[in-house]
Amino acid sequence: MIPVRFILADLRRLWAGSLVIVLLIGLATALGIAVGIQERALRLGSARAADRFDVIVGAAGSETQLVLSSVFLQPAPLTLLPGAVLKKLSEDPRVAWAAPVGFGDSFQGSPIVGTTNEFLTDKGQRPLAEGEIFRGRTDAVIGALVDLRQGDTVKPIHGQPGEGGHSHDELAYTVTGRLAPTGTPWDRAILVPIETVWSIHGMGAPASAGTAEADDHDHDHDGAQDHAAADHLGPPWHDDIPGVPAIIVKPRSIANAYQIRQEYRADTTVGVFPAEVLTRLYATLGDARLVLTAIAIGTQALVGAAVVLVSVVHLSQRRRQIGALRALGAPRGAIFGVVWVELLLLIGLGVGLGVGLGYVGAKVAASVFTRESGIVLPVTLEAGDIGFAGLLLLVAAVIALVPAWLAYRQPPAAALRA
């Protein structure tokens, strides 16, 4: 029978060394748990962010950058796609709708994105959380997390957040609506009519005060009645459409999606499924995870070796105590059990602490990532994580056999003479 009270008394007496062992094991375990949770959360969060984007068409170039810019709103100078491509896609019977997206301006840290009402509501499938869609060229619809209200004025600044740039004093947008939360970078974007983005950058008719007056509109109409009439401000698109960085395409069927993607993978254009690009990024991410996991396992191995070393030293200091127990009649099996259970208890506490620290660390990292990128990462503790912790505990139980076996073989007479 293993004397549990003796083990607890021994741990209380040696609490400082025990605490160090628990912390070492806990930190090493937390690293492995946090890496696994964070990598899974990043996969899920980025996949959810790309759900709405079936096909993206852009100018020939980097597919990865096209997806990063159009789906995750990462600023980058994209080559403009000829406007004729937008006209062709909007008239394609295989396409439910095709919406351009144009970048280049910002306001109070939020990117301003030019697009159409079709994109805002997925052609009526996604109603706004509040307010109205575009009725005129100076309207703006804000993302769920933008700190503005209906009626507020938006003065665009040329350049993306953090880049600086000059203010477009000739134009001011008025907030008319707010999008429903999406858990993506679009929650922090300000969406405006693409025609105004073209105009303000010298790519179309000037969006001056006179234009705003000409586009003055009545907001008293029933919103649902006006959705069909105001899907977009300009289509059918004319022949001299300015260039756009990217076009979001909503195919009518899965077969149409593959056909469009293949058709626009040409010399001057590229059509992509965002999921395909993300899969390649995940492969790179998986390689990074393997490296971090290897580091975590290496750290845990070092900690295991340190635990064994500390335990052996600890045993040498307790030779008299173990010898006295043997002299008083304690069987070898009991001595073996005391040492093994004591070490296993410390290791178990360390692994449990590591699971908690790993989860909390992943939550903190996800919160920082969400604040910087706008992508909500679903951090969850799953059975695989508990299995990983269980495997560590199993390995540790085997490692703990080493000092327990040394204690088992120690002769009582030799211990008392030491």
Q: Which of 231, 250, 272 is the last residue of a domain?
A: 272
Provide the Cα torsion 185, 190, 192, 196; round to 10°: -110
Amino acid 411: pLDDT:
64
Amino acid 211: pLDDT:
36
3-class secondary-structure state, position 329: coil
Reported residue count of the chain is 418
Q: Identify whether the C-beta of residue 278 lies closer than 8 Å to the C-beta of residue 46.
A: yes
Parallel, antiparallel, or unpaired: how do β-strands 139-142 and 173-178 relate? parallel
Residues 196 and 228 in one domain: yes
If you compute the radius of gyration of the chain from its CA atoms, what whole number of angstroms results?
A: 32
Strands (E) in 11-163, as ranges, are 55-59, 95-107, 110-115, 130-131, 139-142, 153-154, 157-158
Residues 81 and 15 in one domain: no
- Residue 112: phi and psi, rounded to 5, are -100, 125
Residues 83 and 149 in one domain: yes
Parallel, antiparallel, or unpaired: how do β-strands 130-131 and 110-115 relate? unpaired
Place of tokens 């869609």: 133
Q: Which of 23, 123, 85, 98 is nearest to 354 (CA)?
A: 23
Distance CA 181, CA 66 (A): 23
Could you give the number of structural domains in the chain?
Answer: 2
Angle between the N-to-C axes of helices 383-399 and 274-317, in degrees from 0 to 180, rounded to the nearest 10: 30
Amino acid 189: pLDDT:
94
Distance CA 101, CA 73 (A): 10
Residues 161 and 263 in one domain: yes
* The pLDDT of residue 235 is above 60: no
Amino acid 11: pLDDT:
66
List for the chain the helix, strand, coil content (%; round to 5).
Answer: 55, 15, 35
Q: Which helix (H) or strand (E) holds 191?
A: strand 190-193
Residues 286 and 373 in one domain: yes
Strands (E) in 214-287, as ranges, are 246-251, 269-272
Q: Identify whether the C-beta of residue 36 lies closer than 8 Å to the C-beta of residue 43.
A: no
Q: Identify whether the C-beta of residue 326 lies closer than 8 Å to the C-beta of residue 339.
A: no
Place of tokens 């899969």: 279
Residues 77 and 22 in one domain: no
Distance CA 87, CA 92 (A): 9
Chain mean pLDDT for the chain:
80
Parallel, antiparallel, or unpaired: how do β-strands 153-154 and 246-251 relate? unpaired
Q: Which two tokens stand for residue 321?
A: 């105590």
* The pLDDT of residue 215 is above 50: no
At 144, the amino acid letter reads A
Tell me which residue range forms the domain holding 396: 4-47+281-417
At 292, the amino acid letter reads L
> 170: which DSSP letter?
T
At 32-42, the pLDDT tens digits run 888 888 888 88
3-class secondary-structure state, position 272: strand
Residues 257 and 165 in one domain: yes
Residues 98 and 193 in one domain: yes
pLDDT winner (highest mean) among 59-63, 159-163, 233-237, 323-327: 59-63
Amino acid 280: pLDDT:
82
* The pLDDT of residue 83 is above 80: yes
Amino acid 213: pLDDT:
37
pTM over 0.95: no
Q: Residue 320: pLDDT band by 50, 70, 90 thresholds?
A: low
Q: Which two tokens stand for residue 42?
A: 């990043």
Residues 413 and 296 in one domain: yes
Distance CA 138, CA 197 (A): 10
For residue 77, whether the previous peptide bond is cis, meaning omega lies within 30 degrees of 0, is: no
- Residue 40: phi and psi, rounded to 5, are -65, -40
145 versus 235: which is more confidently predicted?
145
Residues 38 and 61 in one domain: no
Residues 298 and 265 in one domain: no
Q: Which two tokens stand for residue 411?
A: 């002769």
Cα angle, residue 85 at apex, residues 80 and 90 outer, rounded to 5°: 125
Residues 245 and 342 in one domain: no
Amino acid 31: pLDDT:
83
Q: Which of 255, 272, 289 is the last residue of a domain?
A: 272
Biggest CA pair distance of the chain? 105
Distance CA 288, CA 45 (A): 18
Q: Which of 217, 249, 272 is the last residue of a domain?
A: 272
Q: Residue 348: pLDDT band by 50, 70, 90 thresholds?
A: confident
